Amino acid sequence: MSKLNQNSRPLGSQKSWAKTPGTYIAAHSHIDGVDATAMAMEQKWGAGRLRLLVSPELREKFDRQRYLWNQAIWHGDLESIRVQSARMTSAWKALDGAAVAAGALKLDPVVWEVTLEDGRVAAIVRTYEEAHDVIRQNRAVITFSLDEIGRMISNYPAVLAAKSVFPGATVEAVRRPADPLNAIRDSSGGLDDPIDDPLPDLGV
């Protein structure tokens, strides 16, 4: 979704739209609409992938709008929820249109399934984004990406040594793009206000 993750929720945030059942329901009707659009985009393009398929300029505009939407959710009133939710939905559609116009490939997951000894089913996919696509199908499967399998194999050096057929081969570490909004603790300030605490290194 577009909202700040659990660890980024500010302390003491004031949600004036959540003061009465009526305003709470009204606000969530808009928030849920944005979430539904985000879910549709993730099903089409993969989790966290769409914003990486467009130009840096459009990606910046999208991330700025995500910040303003987060700000409305945590610090705004009902009217700001309505305005920013409409703009957030438009931002998702702008990214979708740009990715289609650029000829970007939609998510087409390849899934391998194996039955475990206890009867459960494990699904193996290539990427983190494809794992999310399998999870959204609400099936009782345990999902692993190749990145996760690689880390598990690395934790069992004896097995790795026994299975190794190409001595000296190495695998470079997999780097997943970081979401810049996860580095921002609070959305109470304006987009151009100075940040008091230094932001973490995103590995760029």
For residue 10, pLDDT over 50 is answered with no
Whole-prediction pTM value? 0.63
Tens-digit pLDDT profile for residues 160-183: 676 666 555 555 555 656 777 877
Tens-digit pLDDT profile for residues 109-141: 677 777 777 877 888 887 777 776 666 655 667
- Write the single-letter amino acid at 63: D
- What mean pLDDT, rounded, does the chain reach? 78
3-state secondary structure of 108: coil
CA distance 106 to 41: 10
CA distance 171 to 165: 14
Edge to edge, the sheet with strand 141-145 lists 111-115, 121-125, 141-145
Confidence of residue 159 (pLDDT cuts 50, 70, 90): low
Residues forming beta bridges with residue 114, ordered by sequence position = 122
CA distance 173 to 22: 50
Answer for the pair 178, 159: CB distance below 8 angstroms, yes or no.
no
Tens-digit pLDDT profile for residues 54-87: 999 999 999 999 999 999 999 999 999 999 999 9
Answer for the pair 133, 46: CB distance below 8 angstroms, yes or no.
yes
Confidence of residue 4 (pLDDT cuts 50, 70, 90): very low
